[in-house]
Amino acid sequence: MERPLTRNIRPGEEPLEIASYVRAGGYVAVRKALTSMAPQDVIQEVTASNLRGRGGAGFPTGKKWSAVPTGSDVPRPKYLVVNADEMEPGTFKDRMLMEGDPHQLIEGVIISAFAIEATIAYIFLRAEYTLAARRLERAVAEAHAEGYLGRNILGSGFDLELYLHTSAGRYICGEETALLSPLEGKRAIPRAKPPYPQSSGLWGKPTVVNNVETLANVPHIVNRGAEWFRSLARGDEDGGTKIYGASGHVKRPGAWELPMGTTIREILEEHADGMLEGYRFRALLPGGASTGFLLEQDLDVAMDFASMEKAGSRLGTGTMIILDDRTCPIGMLRNLEHFFAQESCGWCTPCRDGLPWTERTLASIEAGKGEPRDLDVLAMHVNFLGPGKTFCAHAPGAMEPLESGLKYFRDDFERHIRDKRCPWR
């Protein structure tokens, strides 16, 4: 099984310095792209590879790049922004890539910037990722010293400056337009779309925002081709591998690079080694906190975008949060909604006021103070905070686990209300 994304990562050890990275085949794709390919050639190869965004939305990467305007009359400079603000609860895949192989990300940034003709790039990094920051800063300096960043890279005529921007720490910055505002020194709030960032993004210039894992795939696609990349996946609609993760009461929590389309059961039972002794599986969130619950009957579903949607959830970040039989599902939901309420940017009323209301209602039920009408109140919030009702996807994402929780754990809600206490306490 090929694992291009993690082949250089050595757990517990320092990442490869640039000389070792080059000896391992690093920056070969940069040389190939900049000296023998046109920007449009790179875009076509990435489009043919079926690479889809690994940040959660799953938008086709080549299609996003193709929307960037070209020509002499296009506003300059163009920007590439790396979304490394990994604050989705239960998600730690990008951290592994940045800490374990920072040059791989930098190489992906260089090629991707070349493809969209961007001359300035930013890595927008989660504030708490201090080790990743130190390793990225060192890697950027090494790449600059060796001529892979700066002016006239490898004599190709292509210029690129890459800057590391450490976030002040807000979950809303995972939304691509909300990420651009703090780069401009403004409050982190989403922007109305259209216009989309590809035409009017950072400081009103054409901008592409891509996730860390997405960009880390690009050098391998350029090196070995779209057909090879598609062959790594188990399905026909997607390409490549995926870094899947599992957290909760499993024997071996962690993250693993596996073929896109690996089943939930394989990840849970073979790689996470199943549940801890004394715990039974009950449900899971397949792609971080903002995805809907799946049950034991769904364990053989493939972890890819289409299969997850058919099963009634989303792939999201591909990092599973496991719910066991000794954990109160209402308590879990309250904890999740507390996070989402706390991280609302406050820009629109349904999200600003509805999420705290949701959290208080769940807390009342968990404390044994709930009333039967509270279930109607929660269902109302699922409706009024759902897709198309708010300014961005923050509140709809928060409603996904709640909507499925009301469906699958109805008996638990009713028991809390009827018995006036939490059975798990």
Alpha-carbon gap, residue 59 to 56, rounded angstroms: 9
**Beta pairing partners, 284:** 294, 322
Residue 228 has pLDDT above 90, yes or no: yes
Q: Yes or no: say if 313 and 404 are a contact pair by the CB < 8 Å rule.
A: yes
The tens digit of pLDDT for each residue in 342-389 reads 999 999 999 999 999 999 999 999 999 999 999 999 999 999 999 999
The stretch 16-35 carries a mean pLDDT of 97
The stretch 213-237 carries a mean pLDDT of 95
The tens digit of pLDDT for each residue in 125-166 reads 999 999 999 999 999 999 999 999 999 999 999 999 999 999
pLDDT of residue 235: 81
**Cα dihedral value 36, 37, 38, 43, nearest 10:** -170
The stretch 55-83 carries a mean pLDDT of 93
For residue 307, the surrounding DSSP H or E stretch is helix 305-310
Sign of the torsion formed by the C-alpha atoms of 91, 95, 101 and 107: positive
Q: Yes or no: say if 135 and 101 are a contact pair by the CB < 8 Å rule.
A: no
- Per the structure block, which two tokens stand in for 419? 């018995």
- Per the structure block, which two tokens stand in for 372? 């039967």
pLDDT of residue 57: 83
Residue 1 has pLDDT above 90, yes or no: no
Other beta carbons within 10 Å of 254? 15
Alpha-carbon gap, residue 52 to 164, rounded angstroms: 24
Other beta carbons within 10 Å of 349? 10
Percent of the chain with pLDDT strictly greater than 70: 100
Q: Yes or no: say if 421 and 308 are a contact pair by the CB < 8 Å rule.
A: no
Q: What are phi and psi of 244, to 5 degrees?
A: -100, 155
Percent of the chain with pLDDT strictly greater than 90: 94
- Per the structure block, which two tokens stand in for 72? 């002499």
Q: Yes or no: say if 46 and 78 are a contact pair by the CB < 8 Å rule.
A: no
pLDDT of residue 259: 97
Position 58 confidence tier, pLDDT thresholds 50, 70, 90: confident
Task: Tell me how far CA of residue 137 lies from CA of 102, 123, 130, 297, in angstroms.
Answer: 9, 10, 11, 45
Q: Yes or no: say if 129 and 84 are a contact pair by the CB < 8 Å rule.
A: yes
Task: Tell me how far CA of residue 419 lies from CA of 257, 355, 367, 368, 424, in angstroms.
Answer: 45, 26, 11, 7, 12
278 residue type, one letter:
G
How do strand 79-84 and strand 241-247 relate by DSSP bridges? unpaired
Alpha-carbon gap, residue 99 to 92, rounded angstroms: 11
Alpha-carbon gap, residue 272 to 267, rounded angstroms: 6
Alpha-carbon gap, residue 372 to 24, rounded angstroms: 62
Alpha-carbon gap, residue 37 to 73, rounded angstroms: 23
The tens digit of pLDDT for each residue in 79-122 reads 999 999 999 999 999 999 999 999 999 999 999 999 999 999 99
* Chain centre distance of CA 34: 28
Q: Yes or no: say if 203 and 184 are a contact pair by the CB < 8 Å rule.
A: yes
pLDDT of residue 170: 87
The tens digit of pLDDT for each residue in 297-345 reads 999 999 999 999 999 999 999 999 999 999 999 999 999 999 999 999 9
Q: What are phi and psi of 318, to 5 degrees?
A: 75, 15
The tens digit of pLDDT for each residue in 231-252 reads 999 988 899 999 999 999 999 9
Determine the 3-state secondary structure of 343 from DSSP.
helix
Alpha-carbon gap, residue 395 to 51, rounded angstroms: 27
Alpha-carbon gap, residue 51 to 82, rounded angstroms: 16
